[in-house]
Structure formats: structure tokens, C-alpha cells
Amino acid sequence: MTADIRRTAAELADDLASGATTSVELTQASLDRIGAVDGAVHAFLQVDAEGALAAARASDERRAAGQVASALDGVPIAVKDVLATEGLPTTCGSRILEGWVPPYDATVVAKVRAAGLPILGKTNMDEFAMGSSTEHSAYGVTHNPWDLTRIPGGSGGGSAAAVAAFEAPIALGTDTGGSIRQPGAVTGTVGVKPTYGGVSRYGLVALANSLDQVGPVTRTVLDAALLHEVIGGHDPKDSTSIDQPLPALVEAVRQGASGDLTGVRIGVVKELGGEGYQAGVLARFQESVELLTKAGAEVVEVSCPHFVHALATYYLILPAEASSNLARFDAMRYGLRVLPEGVDAPSAEDVMRATREAGFGDEVKRRIILGTYALSSGYYDAYYGQAQKVRTLISQDFARAFEQADVLVSPTAPTTAFPIGDKVDDPMAMYLNDLATIPANLSGVPGISVPSGLADEDGLPAGFQILAPALADDRVYRVGAALESLLLEQWGGPLLDRAPDLEGASA
Amino acid sequence: MSASLSRDEVAHLATLARIDLTEAELDHLAPQLSVILDSVASLQGVASADVPPTSHALPLTNVFREDVVEPCLTPEQALSGAPEQELQRFSVPRILGDEQ
């Protein structure tokens, strides 16, 4: 018996069911792969070999007793370090939470455990999910498995890189402005941001409550649907959780994988393309649109005129929410406590200021200060109030566009992975990476990024984004699966087969 | 509306946000924040006065549950991450200043 870690989660689930492998073998093989390549990739902040193997043994015992917990029982998973894991450190990529061990599980983590998936460890991220490159992690950058000198995207670069480097078959991510989809695009993997409220946020350390969503990070569209069905659904512990069943996602994938999109209307968003987008990214996008047309879809161009304001809207709403949320890191109840130097008997406020100075990185400080400004009296109406109104206009654009099309499509990210260090101290340049992904968060609609091929200029992966109306997550899976199967046929195998083998590599 | 933030304004905002900033950080962050503010200021005038604001993308209503005791953290769990604890409580620095 052997465990082939290059197989998809769905295939591994079949292998477990047929007895071709065991969860212990599979988990050990993943841990071995992490041991072999993570020195170079640095996708993980924490590896829990003991806990993962214990969960794997329990899974094998359940299976032997004929009591399988879920379709993915026994398939190991990696978890972004922004999700609370009982007994396993959760740092959010920040010094201020260094060594913090949550006393409870996030709902999605509890669901993953109950479904029998061994948790391999916690993955690297930009500090508190603020960033598009994972360079803002306090624990060092994650390297893109396609080219170790380049960024893996962000904020969930760790989860995407872990999956792309075959260190984990699947992972959990979170997406506030593109943090699942953009890393997916630049690492040649699949990422889904579910409808806002479709997956519980309980135990997700909040960046921006009205934008954050947990979702799957995988190598195939089917794997994403399988994981989405494990983590999705109503949670009474999250007051924004949608109290209705998920659409049939795996079924939508099977329907889409037939490659027939007759009757599906696809809208190409005029404002998400052209200037600022890399030629190779646009070329792969265009080819994908042609493939979908050949599959029977009706393609129309739609205009969402207010999308040009989405980035500015986001960078007012997000810092405003983040500055409120991160006020909880006050050095009193958990996390770092730093006493100011040269102060006798410092006050709680002195300690809070010194702790936040020492515990937060530059990007977090930038956004907290920006949010504090946007919410301060005298500026509130001009900034935060205005952004909330433009948010309405963006949602109205979506509503009109979805009258003309069942799904909307665009490139996921304007460029392929850029070199580490290029944009780390240029906030505006960094923010532009999320140009195409942000509108979905502002309006709460679901989106997927599917690999569309390699850009001619640099041979690096590009992503194809599909957006659907709120609650119609099944549509992104259907169209995503169709595109995936058409491209696989064209490529003759998965895109990741062309990524370098990392054994022996060093960063 | 042209927007910029002076070094003093950034220092004041940092105080409001309870973050000590070094002189070097103020020099570094103030110009960056001005660039960001200048960019987001492009929203001025985009939405007319009659556009309603959106706080959450999907309509929300209050969520209630029965007022019954449910499982929750034990005191030991709740205190497990505390920088300091005493007598089953969070131990914190003094709250009031001399002048208060």
C-alpha cells in the first residue's frame, strides 16, 4: 500500500474507501513531504505531526468499523493560521499572538475535525490577513512553489503554497478582499470565496467582519466542492450565518465537468481587464472565454461602472472595521504584554501602547491609523460614510449585471506572481493586486479562481475568476468545473505537473 | 478634496489608536498614509446624497436564541492566554493615572 500525495482529495478519498491506502499512510506521506520541501517553501508556521497522526489513526479505526464520518474522512488538511484551533497555536502571522493557544475551535475547524480530516498544521499568512503577498507575516515570507524567489499571493499564501507544493491535498483559507482567490491564481490552484454568511466565521479572528469569509483552497474544483460541503451551512454561533441549506455543490461540479454549458449566460466584466493587466494573463483569460463559448455558453460583455471605485471603497471600509476589531489586542487578556521602557508603574494604557508598538507590523499599523482617521469625527461622513454609499452602488452594478448573465468572469489577479520584495514597502502597488477580487467581498457574492494556464512572458500561472449571485455558489462550481475539464483536456494533464519538483530545493 | 496627513496628525491618530510610534516610524508612515488617503479621496462625489449606505452586503436581522445556559469556557480556559492572572482573574496594570 502506498499513498500518492499528488492525487486529488477526491481520488484519495476513493483510495481510502477501496483500502488502497490508509489515513495514517497518507498523513505520514504529507508530513514527509512537508519535511522535505517546507524548508524552502515555508508554507507552515506550525506542524502538528502528533495530532494529525492521532486523528488519522482514529479515522482508520472508524473506517475499519464501517463508520465513515464524511466523504473526506481521513484526508489530511492544512488550516490558515487565522482560524482558532484548540490546543494548536494560532498567531495570525503576528507577534502580538505569538504562542497563543486558543481554548476553543473555530466552527469550521470543529466541522473539519468531526468530518475526520487530520489537521497537518497551520499555514503562513500576512499579519491579520492584511496583504497580497504573505510578506507581511511576522514569521517570514512563504515562497511560491513555481518560483521560490516569487510571492505566493496573500494573505493566504501559506495555504495556497502548501496545496501547490503537494504538502497538503487541501487547505482552509479566508478571503476578505481576495486572500483565497488571488493566491490560488498565482500558485496555479483553485480557491473559492463562498457567499458571505455561507460558512461560519465563529473562531475566525476578524479582520473586517462585513467582508471576511472562510473557504476551500484546493487543486481541483471537485475538491473545493467536497470541502465546502464539509465546512458550510448555518451556525447559530455566527449571527451573520445564513439559515438555509447550501446548494448542491458537488452535484454542480459533476454537471459542469460534462463540459456542456448550453444555456448558461456568461458576462465578461468590461471594467475588470485591459489597462493594468498583464498581457499573458489577458491572453489566457481570452482563451478560457473562447473555450466556454465552444462549450455552449452565451457570452456577453457587461458593464459595472462603479467597480473602478471598488479599491478605494475597500481601503476605507476595511481599515475602519480592522481598527475596531484589532482594538481587542490590548495586552490584558491574551497575547503579548510589553511594559514600556523607563516608566515606573505604567498604566494599562501605557502598556497597551507599548505592546501594540512592539506586536504589530508596519502594514497593520498603517491600516489601523487609516481606519482611525476614516472613523474620526469630522471625517466620518466624507470617508467611511461615502464608502458605504459607493458599496451600495457596486452591489447595484452586480444586480444589473446578473440580470444579463448567470455568472460574471474576469482574470482573478492582474498579474502573475511578482518577485519577493518588489512591493512590500509600496502599499498602493500592493493593493492593486486585489483589483478584480474586491468587488465580490463588498457585495457578499461567491467567487472561484480556477487556473487558466501559464503566462507567455514568465511561464507563471494565471487565474480565471467566476462570480455568481449571492447564494448561487453552485453556479461558480458548475462553470469552474466545465472550464477545468476543458483546459485539462487541452493541457493533457494538471497544470501543476509543470511546476518544479521541489525536493532538494532551498529558498 | 485633496487629502494628506501631516506627521503630527499621524502621531495624534496613533495616540487615539493606542500605538506608540517611533520617530523613524512616523517619518516612514506619514507619507505612505498620505498617498493612500489621496487615492481613496477619489470617492468624493461618486455617490449622491440619496444613495443609502450599505454596512453588510446581505440584509441582516437580529438573531435571538432562548435565554438558557449553554456550554462555555471554564475559568481556566478563559484565563489560559492571560499575560498575568491572580485569584482566577485577569491581572492588569493600574487603570487610573495620578491625576485621576
pLDDT exceeds cutoff 60 at A329: yes
Determine contact, residues A480/A446, Cβ cutoff 8 Å. Answer: no
Residues of chain B contacting A315 with CB distance shorter than 8 Å: 36, 39-40
pLDDT, one tens digit per residue, over A336-387 is 999 999 999 999 999 999 999 999 999 999 999 999 999 998 888 889 999 9
How many other C-beta atoms can be found within 10 angstroms of the C-beta atom of residue B88? 9
Q: Treating both helix axes as pointing N-terminal to C-terminal, what angle do A23-41 and A49-64 enclose, rounded to 10 degrees?
A: 160
Q: Which three cell numbers stand for residue B100?
A: 485621576
pLDDT, one tens digit per residue, over A51-79 is 999 999 999 999 999 999 999 999 999 99
Instruction: Give A 487-506 residues with CB within 8 A of chain B.
Output: none
> How many whole angstroms separate alpha carbon A341 and alpha carbon A354?
9
Backbone phi, psi, residue A202, to 5°: -65, 120
What's residue B58's pLDDT? 81
- Determine whether the interchain pair B19/A383 forms a contact, defined as Cβ–Cβ distance below 8 Å: no
Instruction: Give B 21-40 residues with CB within 8 A of chain A.
Output: 21-22, 25, 28-29, 32-33, 35-37, 39-40
Q: Which of A297-311, B26-40, B57-71 has the highest mean pLDDT?
A: A297-311
What's residue A110's pLDDT? 98
Residue B22 lies in a domain: yes
What's residue B1's pLDDT? 43
Q: Which of A70, A179, A410, A449 is catalytic?
A: A179
Residues of chain A contacting B65 with CB distance shorter than 8 Å: 236
Please give the helix or strand (H or E) that residue B11 lies within, else none: helix B7-16
Determine contact, residues A436/A447, Cβ cutoff 8 Å. Answer: no
Q: Is A343 on the interface with B (CB under 8 A)?
A: no
Percent of chain B exceeding pLDDT 90 equals 67
Residue B13 lies in a domain: yes
> Cα dist. A50→A4, A27, A117, A305 in Å?
21, 10, 14, 52
Query: To the nearest whole number, what is the mean pLDDT of chain A?
Result: 96
In chain B, the number of structural domains is 1
Residue B11 lies in a domain: yes
Query: What's the mean pLDDT in A117-132?
Result: 98
What's residue B60's pLDDT? 77
* Strand order across the beta sheet in which A119-123 lies: A44-47, A119-123, A77-80, A170-175, A213-218, A190-193, A447-454, A461-467, A407-411, A265-269, A298-302
- Strand A447-454 vs strand A190-193: parallel, antiparallel, or unpaired? antiparallel
Per residue, the 3-state secondary structure of A477-497, as one string, reads HHHHHHHHHHHHHHHCCCHHH
Nearest to A369 among B17, B47, B54 (CB): B17
pLDDT exceeds cutoff 70 at A498: yes
What's residue A335's pLDDT? 97
Size of chain B, expressed as the number of residues it contains? 100
Instruction: Give B 41-80 residues with CB within 8 A of chain A.
Output: 41-44, 46-47, 51-58, 60, 62-63, 65, 73, 77-78, 80
Determine contact, residues A149/A158, Cβ cutoff 8 Å. Answer: no
> How many whole angstroms separate alpha carbon A417 and alpha carbon A135?
13
Determine contact, residues A116/A70, Cβ cutoff 8 Å. Answer: yes
Query: What's the mean pLDDT in A409-422?
Result: 97
What's residue A402's pLDDT? 98
Determine contact, residues A162/A123, Cβ cutoff 8 Å. Answer: yes
> Cα dist. B45→A224, A389, A397 in Å?
41, 10, 17
pLDDT exceeds cutoff 90 at B57: no
Nearest to B93 among A348, A385, A427 (CB): A348
Residue B80 lies in a domain: no
Q: Is pTM beyond 0.90 here?
A: yes
Residue B68 lies in a domain: no
ipTM of the predicted structure?
Answer: 0.94
Active site residue A80: yes
Residue B85 lies in a domain: no
Residue B59 lies in a domain: no
Query: What's the mean pLDDT in A262-268?
Result: 97
Provide the domain limits for residue B37. Answer: 7-43
- Helix/strand number for chain A, H first, E second: 16, 11
> Per mean pLDDT, which range of A93-102, A256-265, A289-298, A424-433 is the poorest?
A424-433
- Determine whether the interchain pair B18/A349 forms a contact, defined as Cβ–Cβ distance below 8 Å: yes
Please, which pLDDT band fits residue A2 given cuts at 50, 70 and 90? low
* Complete domains list, chain A, with CATH: 9-307+392-498 (3.90.1300.10)
Instruction: Give A 97-156 residues with CB within 8 A of chain B.
Output: 100-104
Please, which pLDDT band fits residue B3 given cuts at 50, 70 and 90? low
Going by C-alpha positions, the residue among B11, B45, B85 that lies closest to residue A373 is B11
Nearest CA in chain A to B30: A366
Determine contact, residues A438/A447, Cβ cutoff 8 Å. Answer: no
B81 contacts: CB under 8 Å, gap ≥ 6: A100, A101, A102, A103, A333, A334, A335
Amino acid at A402: F
What's residue B98's pLDDT? 65
pLDDT, one tens digit per residue, over A125-167 is 999 999 999 999 999 999 999 999 999 999 999 999 999 999 9
Residue B82 lies in a domain: no
> How many whole angstroms separate alpha carbon A432 and alpha carbon A412?
12
Determine contact, residues A466/A448, Cβ cutoff 8 Å. Answer: yes
DSSP A274-329: STTS-HHHHHHHHHHHHHHHHTT-EEEEE--GGGGGHHHHHHHHHHHHHHHHGGG-
> How many whole angstroms separate alpha carbon A174 and alpha carbon A188?
18
